[in-house]
Structure 1
Amino acid sequence: MEEEIVETAEEQLAKQHRKEKKDMQAKIQSMKNAVPKNDKKKRKQMTEEIAKLEADLSQKHEEEMRQLKSDTKSHQVEEVVNGVETMKMEDGEQEEVKQPRVTKAQKRRDKKAAQEKERESRIAEAEVQNLQGVRHQEGLILAQKLAQQQLQIKEISSDGHCMYRAVEDQLAQRSEPQLVMSVKELRSRTAEHMRGHADNFLPFLTNPNTGDMYTTDEFEKYCSDVEHTAAWGGQLELQALTQVLQLPIDVIQADSPAIKIGEEFKSEPIILVYMRHAYGLGEHYNSVERLKDPANAEDS
Structure 2
Amino acid sequence: MEEGLVETPEELLAKQHRKEKKDLQAKIQSMKNAVPKNDKKRRKQLTEEIAKLEADLSQKHEEELRQLKSTNDTKVEQVINGVETMKMEDGEQDELKQPRVTKAQKRRDKKAAQEKERESRIAEAEVQNLQGVRHQEGLKLAQKLAQQQLQIKEISSDGHCMYRAIEDQLAQRSKPELTMSVKELRSRTADHMRSHADDFLPFLTNPNTGDMYTTEEFEKYCSEVEHTAAWGGQLELRALTQVLHLPIQVIQADSPAVKIGEEYKSEPITLVYMRHAYGLGEHYNSVERLKDQASAEDS
Q: TM-score, normalised by structure 2?
A: 0.63
Gaps of 5+ in 1: 1-17, 70-114
Q: Kindly state the Cα deviation for residue 279 of structure 1 after the two structures are TM-superposed.
A: 3.3
Structure 2 residue 197 is the aligned partner of structure 1 residue 198: yes
Higher strand share: 1
Q: Kindly state the Cα deviation for residue 57 of structure 1 after the two structures are TM-superposed.
A: 3.7
Written as runs of structure 1 = structure 2, the 5 A alignment for 1:229-244 is 229-244=228-243
| Counterpart Cα distance in 2 of 1:27 and 1:151 | 14
Q: Kindly state the Cα deviation for residue 56 of structure 1 after the two structures are TM-superposed.
A: 3.7
Structure 2 residue 202 is the aligned partner of structure 1 residue 250: no
Written as runs of structure 1 = structure 2, the 5 A alignment for 1:53-92 is 53=52, 56-57=55-56
| Counterpart Cα distance in 2 of 1:276 and 1:224 | 26
State the AA in 2 paired with 1:268. Answer: E
Query: Which one of 26, 32, 45 corresponds to residue 30 of structure 2?
Result: 32
| Counterpart Cα distance in 2 of 1:23 and 1:168 | 28
CA distances 1:189-235 after superposition (whole Å, capped 9, x unpaired)? 00010001111111110001101000000000000000011100000
Per mean C-alpha deviation after superposition, the further-off stretch among 128-137 and 250-259 is 128-137
Per mean C-alpha deviation after superposition, the further-off stretch among 51-60 and 149-158 is 51-60
Q: Kindly state the Cα deviation for residue 176 of structure 1 after the two structures are TM-superposed.
A: 2.0
Q: Which SS does the other structure have where 2:229 is aligned?
A: coil
Q: Kindly state the Cα deviation for residue 32 of structure 1 after the two structures are TM-superposed.
A: 0.4
Structure 2 residue 118 is the aligned partner of structure 1 residue 119: no
**Does structure 1 conserve the Cα–Cα contact (< 8 Å) formed by 2:126 and 2:278?**
no
State the AA in 2 paired with 1:205. Answer: L
Say if 1:216 and 1:53 are closer, same or farther in 2 by CA, change over 3 A.
farther
State the AA in 2 paired with 1:203. Answer: P
| Counterpart Cα distance in 2 of 1:23 and 1:164 | 28
| Counterpart Cα distance in 2 of 1:241 and 1:161 | 14
**Does structure 1 conserve the Cα–Cα contact (< 8 Å) formed by 2:134 and 2:279?**
no
Higher helix share: 2
Match of 2:176 in 1: 177
**Does structure 2 conserve the Cα–Cα contact (< 8 Å) formed by 1:154 and 1:286?**
yes
Say if 1:24 and 1:147 are closer, same or farther in 2 by CA, change over 3 A.
closer
Q: TM-score, normalised by structure 1?
A: 0.63
Q: Structure 1: which 4+ aligned runs deviate by more than 4 Å?
A: 21-28, 39-42, 48-55, 58-62, 115-118, 126-129, 294-297
| Counterpart Cα distance in 1 of 2:223 and 2:127 | 44
CA distances 1:146-177 after superposition (whole Å, capped 9, x unpaired)? 00000000000011100000000000000321
Say if 1:280 and 1:121 are closer, same or farther in 2 by CA, change over 3 A.
closer
State the AA in 2 paired with 1:212. Answer: D
| Counterpart Cα distance in 1 of 2:260 and 2:69 | 53
| CA RMSD in angstroms, aligned pairs only | 4.1
Report the count of equivalent residues. 224
Structure 2 residue 210 is the aligned partner of structure 1 residue 211: yes
| Counterpart Cα distance in 2 of 1:27 and 1:289 | 16
| Counterpart Cα distance in 2 of 1:129 and 1:121 | 13
**Does structure 2 conserve the Cα–Cα contact (< 8 Å) formed by 1:32 and 1:295?**
no
Q: Which SS does the other structure have where 1:132 is aligned?
A: coil
Match of 1:12 in 2: none
State the AA in 2 paired with 1:119. Answer: T
